[in-house]
């Protein structure tokens, strides 16, 4: 059925987009009216149940969002920092309780106390100016260190639009196959989690049948603790866009879609302005710089759903469908957006492409170690003495990142959750054994992912953190497969019950639950959740044992 709906959505394409129309309809009240959803169902021939099913899924479209005026970040970093209850109390002086909602995550993990109001994000001490912010719509820009160790790829100062124009002009003078060869030589792998080679995706899309194809930037990977994507979107928008344009040129694709988290409002504005600037210089459009190549952008504002960071759910979302994960094969490069061949890559991966085109694949491959070539952005949260964004070459010791770049911890820490909610839970005793690369983390039973670090202080109960992970997964699950939909809820219930009374969880039952999630889930949300839980059970058995019964 979803395949047919994809074809229906494709009738109007991206110009008249159902998902965007739902967002527009929600603006006056916080949720689209039933009458407007009926109208949209008729206009897009999608069926009322399909439209309502899609709208009711997103945090910022569902009925519960009606009347919300301010949103508090409920991400892992803000939770472990313990800043949000005090934040809510201060907000409650200026807003009614039913006007305060929640978002996850606002990418302000370096200073926490994060909230969203009137299209802007705030954090740190901004809450103390809430009266002024509410009255005058004051903008307060956050600051965090950005630095590099070794050769910088993504953290140098922006050279300006003139330099990017020159690089784009030079790029269009080379055959697409030559550029693809450079990407293959570079060994660039996806920076979001699985580490899949980008050249393989581009070549598969290039060879796929059909004239209509898409390049999609997945700027909705909302791992709590990771704000590297936000950094690139806001401070290096042309790197991201040029990476997409080059990918389009290599594959023969004429349309790029930038799907950006609603939780990053400033990024949406900045990317939109950057696209406009490129258009004004005629670096986009038809027959760009007399090259015969055409390329256009569509920027889409997401509506609050972590699962849309999964590539197939994201594609369903753009189509106006409920963002459910699709069964693969077929893969997006074969049958993606509107059933057309589609390449989906995340922000950091695409932003690396201009460096490779300018300096050559060998230059990028010379950085890093083994199959983990190039550099990696690392996000450090507020528990570090110097929280911020740091770029290091793959293979850099984790201890160097923690102790030298981050300055060490400002309070006692027992574990670090690295790579988002589905990443590994690393005890501080393992810091000296790990290096920042895919293989090191995998060999030690962890996952590098976004390389974001959320610290868990000694005083924070680990059982509460695990409960949070299950609750997060239950809330964000698309619901298509029952291991994720039911298993995450059941895990949350078990851990909640174990903390409230004399109940103890049967360990075999819990292990079976984790195994079912791991091998039975359709995507990495349910399938990845067991990793940090297993890490916790292994390395923190003494702390967690009072909550479990062994038979």
pLDDT truncated to tens, each residue of the chain (551 aa)?
467 888 888 888 898 899 999 999 999 999 999 999 999 999 999 889 999 999 999 999 999 999 999 999 999 999 999 999 999 999 999 999 999 999 999 999 999 999 999 999 999 999 999 999 999 888 898 999 999 999 999 999 999 999 999 999 999 999 999 999 999 999 999 998 778 899 999 999 999 999 999 999 999 988 999 999 999 999 999 999 999 999 999 999 999 999 999 999 999 999 999 999 999 999 999 999 999 999 999 999 999 999 999 999 999 999 999 999 999 999 999 999 999 999 999 999 999 999 999 999 999 999 999 999 999 999 999 999 999 999 999 999 999 999 999 999 999 999 999 999 999 999 999 999 999 999 999 999 999 999 999 999 999 999 999 999 999 999 999 999 999 999 999 999 999 999 998 899 999 999 999 999 999 999 999 999 999 999 999 999 999 999 999 76
Q: Which fold has domain 370-456?
A: Ubiquitin-like (UB roll) (3.10.20)
* Residue listed under structure tokens 């996850």: 104
Q: Which stretch of DSSP H or E encloses residue 148?
A: strand 146-149
Fold: same for 147-365 and 462-549? no
Q: What does the block give as tokens for 272?
A: 């939109």
Q: Which stretch of DSSP H or E encloses residue 454?
A: strand 452-457
pTM for the complete prediction? 0.96
| Count of CA atoms in the C-beta half-sphere (13 A) of 509 | 11
Distances (CA, A) of 93 to 87, 90, 128, 176, 304: 10, 6, 12, 59, 26
Q: Would you say the C-alpha torsion 433, 439, 441, 445 has a positive or negative sign?
A: negative
Q: Which fold has domain 462-549?
A: de novo design (two linked rop proteins) (1.20.1440)
Residue 342: which of 20, 10, 51 has the closest Cα?
10
Domain ranges of the chain: 2-65, 70-136, 147-365, 370-456, 462-549
Cα–Cα distance, 143 to 456 (Å, whole number): 23
Cα–Cα distance, 507 to 513 (Å, whole number): 10
The reported pLDDT for the residue numbered 1 is 44
Q: What does the block give as tokens for 131?
A: 């009266």
Across 355-372, b (16+ Cβ under 10 Å) vs e yields bbbeeebebbbebbbeeb
Residue 103: which of 69, 149, 153 has the closest Cα?
69
The reported pLDDT for the residue numbered 12 is 83
Where are any strands of DSSP class E within 191-339? Answer: 214-219, 255-260, 296-301
State which CATH number among 3.40.50.11540, 3.40.630.40, 3.40.50.10860, 1.10.10.10 fits the domain covering 147-365: 3.40.50.11540
The reported pLDDT for the residue numbered 447 is 94
Query: Going edge to edge, which strands form the sheet with 70-73?
Result: 100-103, 70-73, 115-117, 120-122
Q: Which residues contact 60 (CB under 8 A, 6 or more apart)?
A: 23, 26, 30, 262, 303, 304
């Amino acid at each position: 059925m979803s395949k047919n709906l994809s074809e229906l959505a494709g009738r109007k394409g991206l110009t008249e987009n159902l998902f965007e129309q739902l967002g527009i309809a929600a603006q006056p009240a916080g949720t689209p009216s039933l009458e407007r959803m009926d109208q949209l169902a008729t206009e897009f021939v999608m069926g009322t149940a399909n439209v309502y099913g899609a709208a009711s899924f997103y945090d910022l479209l569902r009925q519960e969002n009606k009347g919300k005026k301010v949103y508090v970040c409920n991400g892992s970093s803000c939770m472990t920092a313990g800043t949000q209850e005090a934040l809510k109390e201060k907000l409650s002086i200026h807003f009614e309780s039913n006007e305060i909602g929640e978002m996850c995550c606002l990418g302000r993990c370096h200073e926490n106390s994060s909230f969203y109001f009137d299209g802007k994000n705030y954090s740190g001490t901004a809450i103390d100016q809430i009266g002024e912010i509410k009255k005058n719509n004051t903008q307060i820009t956050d600051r965090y260190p950005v630095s590099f160790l070794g050769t910088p790829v993504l953290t140098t100062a922006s050279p300006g639009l003139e330099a990017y124009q020159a690089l784009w002009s030079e790029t269009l003078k080379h055959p697409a196959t030559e550029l693809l060869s450079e990407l293959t030589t570079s060994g660039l792998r996806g920076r979001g989690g699985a580490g899949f080679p980008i050249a393989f995706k581009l070549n598969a899309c290039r060879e796929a049948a059909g004239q209509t194809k898409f390049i999609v930037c997945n700027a909705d990977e909302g791992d709590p603790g990771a704000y590297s994507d936000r950094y690139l979107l806001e401070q290096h928008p042309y790197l991201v866009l040029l990476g997409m344009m080059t990918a389009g040129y290599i594959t023969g694709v004429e349309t790029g879609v930038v799907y950006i988290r609603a939780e990053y409002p400033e990024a949406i504005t900045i990317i939109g302005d950057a696209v406009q600037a490129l258009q004004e210089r005629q670096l986009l459009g038809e027959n760009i710089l007399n090259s015969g190549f055409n390329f256009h952008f569509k920027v889409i504002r997401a509506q609050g759903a972590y699962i849309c960071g999964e590539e197939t759910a994201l594609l369903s979302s753009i189509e106006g469908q409920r963002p459910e994960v699709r069964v693969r094969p077929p893969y997006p490069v074969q049958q993606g957006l509107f059933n057309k061949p589609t390449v989906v890559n995340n922000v950091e991966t695409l932003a690396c492409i201009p460096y490779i085109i300018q300096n050559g694949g060998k230059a990028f491959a010379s950085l890093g170690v083994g199959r983990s070539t190039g550099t990696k952005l690392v996000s450090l949260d507020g528990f570090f003495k110097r929280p911020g964004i740091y770029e290091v070459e793959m293979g850099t010791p984790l201890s160097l990142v923690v102790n030298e770049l981050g300055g060490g911890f400002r309070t006692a820490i027992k574990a670090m959750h690295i790579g988002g909610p589905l990443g590994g839970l690393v005890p501080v005793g393992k810091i000296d054994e790990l290096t920042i690369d895919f293989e090191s983390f995998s060999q030690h039973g962890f996952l590098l992912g976004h390389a974001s670090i959320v610290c868990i202080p000694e005083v924070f109960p680990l059982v509460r953190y695990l409960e949070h992970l299950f609750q997060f997964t239950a809330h964000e699950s698309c619901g298509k497969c029952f291991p994720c939909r039911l298993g995450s809820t059941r895990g949350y219930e078990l851990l909640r019950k174990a903390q409230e009374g004399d109940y103890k969880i049967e360990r075999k039952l819990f292990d079976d639950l984790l195994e079912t999630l791991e091998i039975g889930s359709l995507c990495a949300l349910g399938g990845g959740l067991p990793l940090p839980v297993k890490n916790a059970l292994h390395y923190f058995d003494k702390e967690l044992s009072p909550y479990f019964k062994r038979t």
